[in-house]
Chains A and B, each alone.
Chain A
Amino acid sequence: MSLLTGPMKHHLNGHKGLTKEKPVLKTIDPDVVWIPLVNGNAPCKPCVNVGDEVKVGTKIAERNDHFYLPLFSPVSGTVTGIEKFMTSGLTPADHLRIQNDHKHTEVRAFEPFDYEKASWEELLEFVKNAGMLGLGGAGFPTYVKYLKPENVSLFIVNAVECEPYLTADYKNIEENMDLLRTGTLALFKLSKAEKGCVAIKEDKKHQIAELQKAFAGTPIEIRTVPDMYPMGWERTLVYQLTKKRYDKLPIEAGCILNNASTAIALGNAIDNGHPITHKYVTVSGDAVKNPQNVLVPVGTKAHEIIDACGGYTEGTEEVLMIAGGPMMGRTIPNDQFVIAPPNNGLTVLINKEPEEVKCLRCGRCTETCPSGLQPIRIAMTAAIFDEEELMKLSVLDCVECGMCTYVCRSKLNVTELVRRGKNFVRTRQANRAKEAKK
């Protein structure tokens, strides 16, 4: 932030009190789980057949294109088929249907690992084979970030959790402090960084103290950041901690980041030889009867989780079922989708139609845009499909954080309009690339 730019961030009411202090519900054990056979936009190939018996920890699928990612069964039971339906990313995908026998028989996916004695290469290989992926929302295979850690000055564990309503990371850290410590130190080693830190919002006073205790005597610092959105976004967080900007990847600014729950998952893999099978998911919002955090097997259907939380609030006529938090999470027009590893929340809100008026050009969207864009100008330019002007306005730098719609005083869907501009430019570029190939 300087005199010429706005704050590029904004404090939001997090509504985190709805779930923050409540215990985590861990009794959900669905009869059937559906494992989405997809990572990002890449399909994963199942390595079990219909009718096969699987145990908790059995490798059931893997991604094997330019990245490698194994998926493990979260329950014990029988593979009963593959079904195609919509994921929480609003794309149709195959799901591996596993009938749960509720016996929780486990098989070791891999042995616990001594990361301190292991070499850097061995550790990287372990992270890769343990199926670690970014649990903050991206689902990006973790090992890829550490392939060439050169000139890394700061390794950051992102425990900011800036998305409103969500407290899954908070609860996960609270319950798994040791695993966080192990995972963080392992990733720190992998990053070859000069310094490491855990970034957390300054308002989480109690957890900051706990973290300081847990990380005492390690090279990992606890860094506090303001209670702003999108503080947890890589660029904003890197800038907050280092005052550096970068073009594409944080490594350009000498930083590597991973989410706290990814670090915990790695800690669980190292200490217990346990892959990612369960997820902390925040169920919150004014359309849910008992908002709380739940720990569920990957592949649990959303409606089962909602039912376990007391169902929808009575008298609700229209709800917004959001996979994730309300800012970046997508609304899903049903509750039949399943929890994939990157999911960390279900926000269910009563639908309210805001009173939309014309843009008064107040410039709030420009001031708060973490990418330094002028969303409303992009939105207006997108309406007239002026590609050249859109590129001048750097439309592709938008990360769809949702801030412009949030701050809009006139209640316009600015983010959506920008998104359309972005898609328009991308489509044009793709078409041109195709033509060039011909």
Chain B
Amino acid sequence: MTTIMDIIRLLTETPLIFVSIAGLTWGILGGALPGISASITMALVLPFTYTMDPAQAIALLACVYIGAEYGGSIPAILIRTPGTNSSAATVIDGYELNRQGRAGEALGISLMSGVIGSLFGLAMLIMLTEPLSWLALAFTPASYFGLGILGLSVIASMSGGSLIKGLAAATVGLMIATVGTDPISGVTRFTFDIPDLLGGVEPVLVMVGLFALTELMSQSGSTNTTQLNQKIKIKLPSLAVMNRLKRSQFIGCVLGLFEGLTPGGGGSIAAFMSYNEAKRWSKTPHLFGKGSEEGVAAPEAANNTVASTALIPLLSFGIPSSNSTAVLLGGLLMHGLIPGPRLFEQSAQVIDSIYVGSFIAIIAQIGVGIIILPACIWLVNRPRPYRAGFIFALILSGIFTLNNSLFDLGIALALGLVGFLMRIAGFPVLPMILGVVLGHMVESSYRRSLVLSGGDHMIFLQDPIAVALLSIALIFVVFSLSREVRDARKTRIEEARS
């Protein structure tokens, strides 16, 4: 036993710099594997941290999170499959750029936007953790309802042409979100006496099914193989490009900050919202969806910001705002560290190593990202049947690892088929995913508010945060509707002319 103990000690008592870079590398690889989300990547490494020094263990987990948020964009751009939930928004323009033969540029933009987002997030984490912890406290159930509605209000602009089809898809998503145990009364709904459905349909299954499996199915049907056999070189964006992207990156950083602070959201909502906002404020909104650099920069800056700012409510209140921070919370508790106001006084060393470790990982990300990219590109350039088979196996094993459940595999495969049929019929899948992700939060916070108020809807107008969020949502809806109408009219006029 002594030798094993010695080996474990040797492996774990290495300096923080090694721990950070190891965490980052594992994070990028895990994030890059479709179906393996940031939280799964972190959960997989969790057992290895049992015997580590608590400060290093927590720093390692934080660095895995950072790496996974960047890693997720690699398959999003290269094979139209988000590696993590929060890189789903990157698929839209990232993959489009890849089709135009600009995959290298897209990857470079994703990498640099991620670094900027991470640095911004870390700065915010260090500066705001203690002062801003009141924000988490100010959120009542009514405010959460406002937040959920704000998230849903972007559906209109994600429907890609047909608002009706988008709303239909979103409704199906909301319906899927009602499966499981009722969040307020505890009554089971639509579970058909199947115990596996008690916890509901996990959003990750919907995302993997609708994005990844659907894509594999469509790819298998297409005979066009030329686009993937090109030699892709990573191209870091020039200063001029970075200058052009600064507005979208700024939007990503700010929304990432808010999303990280407010529990319930996580990186995916921040990424979608910043994509939407970047489009709204862009000088070239017509490029979005057709290969816009900004469409990659904004969500990637946002999800990397969340990887740091999500630690703010976690460390100051012990409230995990995403699945990944829930894993991190598990890691903290495992080492006897209880997050909360006193963590900063009692375990300053842990806090310091999170800050220092994250900084090392962010800087190393540029180097490690470049070193790992060719490996990923090599993978993408393998013959399609091999690659598709490999990805299929990876996705399925990733889903299985989630709960060791064959039932989950069935759900994901069924949703893959649904997504394939939706694509044929021209229904967008993004609104459906948003419905599943947000439906639960909207429903439970709505009903919880009404329990509090005794059924009086005025509670939503008495809460200042709820009022602010609902007003912004209303503005979003009005703006995107008017844009929809304007665009439709323009297209009709153009069609009439031609």
**Do A and B belong to a common assembly?**
no
Interface residues of chain B, those whose CB is within 8 Å of chain A, are none
Q: List chain A positions with a Cβ less than 8 A from chain B.
A: none
